[in-house]
Amino acid sequence: MNDNLRALAEKRADAKIKFYKSFMIFIIVNAFLAVINAVYTPQFWWVLFPLFFWGIGIFIKFLNAFIIENKFNTVEYRERKIQEEMAKLGNES
């Protein structure tokens, strides 16, 4: 049980670290794109398109890392589903 808890904690920590890295890249790249947009084509703010669509991906990563608990990716869930399938197979015979 302790190993399972550690594995789950590692997955959660990794998801949070990936989010932070992705968010930093998002900020840096979009700031760079905004400067390019402002210098070369200030009449049309095309930078809003990658900002919006990439932002959706960042928001999903945020939800997965901090809000949504992945109940389907645990050893306990897998074991429970195996037991359910074994019970179903036992009833079919």
Here the tokens at position 74 are 């645990």
pLDDT at 45 > cutoff 80:
yes
pLDDT for residue 1: 59
What percent of the chain has a predicted confidence (pLDDT) above 70? 92
- State the average pLDDT over residues 47-74: 89
Here the tokens at position 84 are 């359910």
Q: Greatest CA separation found in the chain?
A: 73
pLDDT for residue 8: 77
Query: In terms of Cα–Cα distance, which of 91, 90, 75 is closest to 4?
Result: 75
